[in-house]
Chain A
Amino acid sequence: MLIPLSWLKDFVEIKLSLKDLMWKMTEAGLTCESYKKVGDEIVLDVEVTANRPDWMSIIGVAREVAAIQGIKLKTRKENALPKKSANFPIDLIPDFNLFDRWTGIAIKNVEIKPSPKWLADRIRLMGHTPINNVIDITNYVMYELGIPMHAFDYDEIAGQIMTVQLSKGGEDFTSVDNLSYKLPKDAIIIRDAERLIDLAGIKGGLNSGIKETTKNVFLHVTIDNSVLVRRTSIALGLRSEASAIYERVPDKGGTINSIKRAASLILDLTGGQVASDLIDLRKEKFEPWEITLTEEKLEKVLGIKIETKLVVNILSKLNLNPRKTSKGIACTIPTYRGDLKIEEDLIEEVARIYGYNKFPMTLPTGRITKNKIPYYFDDSIHLALKEILIGAGYTEAMTLSLISKDIIEKFGLNPSDHVKIENPVSLDYEYMRTTLIPSLLAALKLNTEEKLKIFEIDKVYPSENYKLTVVTKGVDFREFKGLVDLIFEKLNINNYKIEFETNKSYMHQSVAGIIKMGETLIGEFGALSPRVLNNFEIKNKVYCLEFDIKALEKHTRVKIFESVPLVPPQIEDLTLVFPAKTKIGEVVGLIKSVSRLINKVELKDIYQDSYTFNIWYQGKTNLTDPEVKEIREKILKLIEQKFGGIIKE
C-alpha cells in the first residue's frame, strides 16, 4: 500500500523524523522499509498484514501514526449531505450471504470531466492514471477510507433493479476497462432487469460503467463475502486493490461514512444533486463490540507488569475506549478493528504500542520433560555417517527433492511410481524422487575433475525414509568397495550378506548387488547400468551405493573393546590359486572363522588367479611353530574343500 505523506498529513501531524517514523511504524506492525520520492512528495510503501484491512487506507495508517506518536487525529468537518432534490427509483435485492451490507445513493445531473489537479495528482501518486471525476472520486475515497465502492451509470441499470447473486459459471463478462472474462462458478455478480452489470468486489461492468455521456449516477459501497471474492479473484487471476481489501474484510460499520464522503465530493466536483434516499441494507447492525482485558492475563503473557494507567493510556490512544470495571479493563472495539476478537489481541495492542524493544529478556523457567516427544528424531547415525564419509574424502551435497519426468525415464524408472505434483513450477520439477542417485549424477556433469567422491543423506518419497547415497567417478572398484567395508566396520555391523542380484534396473547387471542383514535390505551398491550412463551421456565409470539409514541404524552396535595382546603375533602371507568365480570375500570370512587364534586376515595382493592373504596368528602366549602349522593346515584344507583353492607352488 502506498501512502503519500502529504495525504497522511491531512489527518495527522507528523512529529517524528522520516527514519524514526518508518521504524516506529514497522515496530508497531505496519512494516515500512522503503519510500520513494515523486517530485516534492514522499510516498511510503507499507506492507499490510492479512489481519489489518484498516491499514489499506490513509485514515487507518493515520490512526496508527497518531497512536504511535501519542497524539490525536486532526478533525475534519463533515458537512451533512443536502436533501434529495429528486426521487430516482432504485430497487436493490440483497442476499446477506453475499453482501453483509449494501449502501447506495443516486446522484443526478453530473458533469463527467477530468478531475481537478489535486485529485488527479493523488490518483497518480497511488500509481494510477486518472480517468474522470466520478471514477477518480470512488478510487480516492477507497484509498482514503478503506472500503471499495463503485459508481454505475444510473440510466444503464435496466429496470432500475439490482439483484446480487452467484454466477452459475461460464457467463461472459466485459469489465469497465473493456476486458472479457468467462466467469467461474460462485462469483458474486449483480444483475439488472436484463444483464450482468457487475463482478462484485473485483471489477465493474462495461455496460453500466461511467462514460463521458453519463448524466446520472448510482453510487454504492458494499461489504462483500470475503471468501467468495478471494476465490473468484484467484480463479480469474485478477487481484485488484478492491479484492485485496475484501479478502481482509473491511469495516462493516463504515459504509455510510464512505458513501457520504464520496457523494459530497461528487456533488462538489460534478455539479450533481442528490436524487434518492441513502439506502442502507444490512445483515445486522454492525456496532462496536466489547472485549475485557484482565491485568493478570496481560502480565502472564507479557512477563512484565505494565502500570494500569499506562495500559489504559495505550488502549485509549488506539480509540478502544478503555474503562476500569470489576472484571478488568473493558474496551469498546470500533468496527474498523475487525482483527480484535479475543483478549490476546488486546494484549498485542498493549505490547506493540508499549514497544517490543522496551521489554526485558528472560529465558523460560519451566519444567523439562523426560518423555520423548512425538516424532522424536535422533540424528546421531546421520552425523556418524557424514563423519565417516567426510573423513574418507567424500563431500556432502544437498540437492532438490523434485525432479523431472525426463530424468526418471532416463534413469529407467517409471514416473507413475513417483509422487506427482499437480501444479509444478516447471516440468523440470514435477515428481518427487524415489532415489537420490540421479540428483548426484548431475554432479558428474558439473565437475570436470577426473575424480569425484560425493554423497548425500536425504529423504526419498513417499516413504520419507532417509537414504545414504554415494556416487563416484575415477575411483576403482576396490577403492569404492573399501568405503562400503569402512562404513560397516565403523558402524560395527558384521555378518552382512552380499547378493549378486539387484532388482534395480539402473544398476549394472554384473558389477552390482545388494547388501542384506538377515532379511533386512540395507541397499544397493556397485556400478551403474551402461544404458543409464549412456542416457545421461556420461562416459566415466560410475560406482554408487544407496543404503537405507533406518536399516543401518537397526544393526549398528557399540564396539566392544578387545584388550591388546601382551605377546607379538606371528604374521605370514599365504598365496593361493582359485578357480574362476570364487567369492574372495567369503574366503576371507572362512579363514577368519577357522580359529580364534586368527585375529586379522587381509587380502594383500592379486595376481591373475592367485591371491595373497596376510594372516595374523595371535595367542595369549607366544604361539609355537607346530601350533601355527596346525591352524595353517586346517585353513588350507577347508579352502580346498569349499572353494577349490590350492596353495601356489
Chain B
Amino acid sequence: MQEEIINIKNEAMAQIMGASDVSELEQLKINYLGRNGKINSLIKKLKDVPVDERKQVGITLNLAKQTINKLVNDKHQELIKSLTEKREWFDLTIPGVKPERGHYHPLTTVLKEVKTIFNHLGYQIADGPEIETDYYNFEALNIPKDHPSRDTQMTFYVDDKEKHILRTQTSAMQGRVMKDMKPPFRVLAPGRNFRYEQVDASHGFEFWQVEGFVVDENIHLTDLFGTIDYVLKELFGSDVKLRFATTNFPFVEPGVDTYMRCTICGGKGCSFCKNSGWSEIMPAGMIHPNVLKTAGIDTKRWNGFAFAIGLSRIVNLRYQIKDLRTLTTPDMRILSQF
C-alpha cells in the first residue's frame, strides 16, 4: 500500500508537471483528487490495511494528497503566469467574417439628421400630399396663374377631373398648415417633389426637399440668417463658409439665397459648383404678407420666415455624388456604400 501511494504520487507529480494548459490540469486534479479520484479510492481501501500499519499509511496518503494539491495549485499559477506573459505570433490582419447587416439609404440618414437639428429648434414635422392642387402649390404662395416664375417649376398635370398637379415644391405645405392652425408654429415639411424636366446627370424629375417655416409675433431677417447658419453648420461642420444674396420668389419678401463654400473643392472651383467655388444651397426669405393674408393670418401681428433645403443636393454634396440618378437606382453596388 505504501508503495502504491508513492507510485500514484509520483505518477501524479509527473503528469501535473507536464500539464500544458489549465483544462488538462483541471482534469488531472479530478483524476487524482476528485470524489472518484485515485487518492480517494486509496482512502477507501485504507480500511483493508492491517490496523498497526494503518496510521502510517494514513499519514503517507495524507501527505501525498497535500503534495498533489499544492503541486496542482502551483502549476495552475505557473500556467496562468506563462499564458499571460507568453508572446506568440498571431495574424490580426486576417479578414473577419462580417455579421450580415443592411444599409440605410443616404436620404434617410441625412433626413434623420435634419429632423433632429430642427427638433432641437422646436420645429414639428409635417407630411402632406404629393398629388396637390394648383392652389396650394402656386396661388396660395402668391404665384398667380401665368406668372413667369412658374417657368422654373415646370409642372406635371394629373389626368383627372379635379385638375390636380404633382407638387413642384414642399412649400405647398405652407398654405395647408397656415389655413388650419393659429400661429405661433414652427414647421418642417420634408418630401418628394416633381418637376417636368428631362432626366440627365444634374436633373431628375423627382427630388427631395425639406421646407421649413416659422410664424410668430416677432420674426426677423436676422433670425432667418441665424437659423440657416446654425443648420448648415450642424450639417456640414462649424467651418463651413456661407454667404447670403438677395433673390426673388413671389412668396417671400425680402428674399434670400444661401451660398455655401463648395465642400468638394473647398472653393477652388469644380464641376459641382460650376467652377464658382460656391454652391447654392438654401433659398429662403421672410414670408410675403400676401401668403399670410391668403391663409387668414393677421399680418399686423404675425410675420415669419421660410426656407427650403434641397435634400438630394445635400446628400450629393456630402457624398460627392455627381449623378442625381444615383440616389434612385436600387443597385447594391451603390446602396452598400452607405
Contact = CB atoms under 8 A, between A and B. Distances in A.
Interface of A: 26-29, 31, 33-34, 49-52, 226-227, 230-231, 244, 247-248, 300-304, 339, 342, 344-345, 347-348, 351-352, 356-357, 359-369, 371-379, 383, 386, 389-402, 419-425, 429, 432, 439-440, 442-443, 446-447, 449, 452-456, 459, 461-462, 464
A31 B245 contact: yes
Interface string B95-126: 00000111111011000100100000110111
B126 A376 contact: yes
Interface string B173-208: 100110111001111010010101111000001100
B245 A27 contact: yes
Contact of A375 (B115, B177, B194): B177
Most interface-central of A303, A391, A398 (chain B CB within 10 A):
A398
B148 interface: yes
B223 to A, nearest CB: 4
A383 B112 CA distance: 9
Interface stretch (B7-15, B54-62, B67-75, B328-336): B328-336
A371 B130 contact: no
Given A372-B124, A396-B108, A348 B330 contact: no
Interface string B20-52: 000000000000000000000000000000000
Contacts of A398: 105, 107-108, 327-328
A419 B217 contact: no
20 contacts: A29-B246, A31-B247, A50-B148, A52-B248, A301-B254, A302-B221, A342-B253, A361-B225, A362-B220, A364-B227, A372-B124, A373-B124, A374-B126, A374-B176, A374-B179, A386-B104, A395-B332, A395-B335, A421-B157, A425-B199
B139 interface: no
Nearest to A47: B247
Contacts of A373: 124, 126, 177, 181, 185, 187
B149 interface: yes
Contacts of B328: 398-400
Contacts of A364: 186, 214, 216, 219-220, 223, 227
Interface in B206-255: 206, 214, 216-223, 225-227, 229-230, 243-248, 250, 253-255
B261 interface: no
A381 B286 CA distance: 34
A333 to B, nearest CB: 15
Contacts of A401: 130, 192, 194, 206
Given A29-B246, A421-B166, A424-B156, A363 B223 contact: yes
A324 to B, nearest CB: 23
Nearest to B327: A398
A447 B187 CA distance: 39
A386 B338 CA distance: 14
B4 interface: no
Interface string B261-275: 000000000000010
B160 interface: yes
Given A27-B245, A227-B145, A374-B177, 20 more contacts: A50-B250, A302-B221, A344-B286, A348-B254, A360-B226, A362-B222, A366-B217, A369-B184, A375-B127, A375-B189, A376-B124, A377-B127, A389-B102, A391-B101, A396-B102, A398-B105, A398-B328, A439-B330, A454-B330, A459-B192
B331 A443 contact: yes
Residue in A227, A376, A394, A395 whose Cβ sees the most chain B Cβ within 10 Å: A395
B333 to A, nearest CB: 8
B147 interface: yes
Interface of B: 100-105, 107-108, 112, 115, 121-122, 124-131, 145-149, 151, 156-160, 166, 173, 176-177, 179-181, 184-187, 189, 192, 194, 196-199, 205-206, 214, 216-223, 225-227, 229-230, 243-248, 250, 253-257, 274, 276, 286, 288-289, 303, 327-333, 335-336
B257 to A, nearest CB: 8
A303 B157 CA distance: 41
A402 B205 contact: yes
Contacts of A375: 126-128, 173, 176-177, 189
Contacts of B194: 401-402
A179 B52 CA distance: 138
Given A402-B206, A419-B131, A442-B330, A302 B289 contact: no
B222 A302 contact: yes
A400 B189 contact: no
A446 B330 CA distance: 7
Contacts of B151: 50
B253 A300 contact: no
A47 B327 CA distance: 29
Nearest to B243: A357
Contact of A356 (B127, B245, B288): B245
List 10 tightest A-B contacts by C-beta distance, closest first. Answer: A303-B220, A29-B246, A303-B222, A348-B254, A366-B216, A377-B127, A361-B226, A49-B248, A443-B330, A393-B100
B149 A50 contact: yes
Contacts of A394: 102
A33 B130 contact: no
Contacts of B214: 364, 366
B121 A363 contact: yes
A397 B184 CA distance: 37
A383 B186 CA distance: 22
Nearest to A343: B289
B159 A363 contact: no
Nearest to B129: A464
Contact of B274 (A33, A376, A456, A464): A33
Nearest to A431: B159
B146 A231 contact: yes
Given A363-B223, A395-B336, A29 B247 contact: yes
Nearest to B160: A419
Contacts of B124: 372-373, 376
A50 B248 contact: yes
Contacts of B156: 421-424
Contacts of A244: 148
A357 B156 CA distance: 37
B279 to A, nearest CB: 11
A27 B254 CA distance: 13
B248 A344 contact: no
A28 B246 CA distance: 5
A351 B254 contact: yes
B125 A377 contact: yes
A379 B118 CA distance: 14
A479 to B, nearest CB: 11
Nearest to A228: B146
A423 B227 CA distance: 38
Nearest to A48: B248
A472 B148 CA distance: 48
A368 B102 contact: no
Contacts of A366: 184, 214, 216-219
Contacts of B329: 446
A125 to B, nearest CB: 22
A339 B254 CA distance: 12
B123 to A, nearest CB: 9
B102 A390 contact: yes
B290 to A, nearest CB: 8
Nearest to A347: B254
A379 B220 contact: no
A125 B122 CA distance: 53
Contacts of A345: 253
Nearest to A458: B192
Contacts of A351: 221, 246, 254
A374 B105 contact: no
Given A247-B148, A386-B108, A396-B103, A357 B181 contact: no
Contact of B248 (A29, A247, A391, A402): A29
- Among the interface residues B103, B197, B336, which one has the most CB atoms of the partner chain A within 10 A? B103
A447 B107 CA distance: 21
Contacts of B180: 374
A425 B102 contact: no
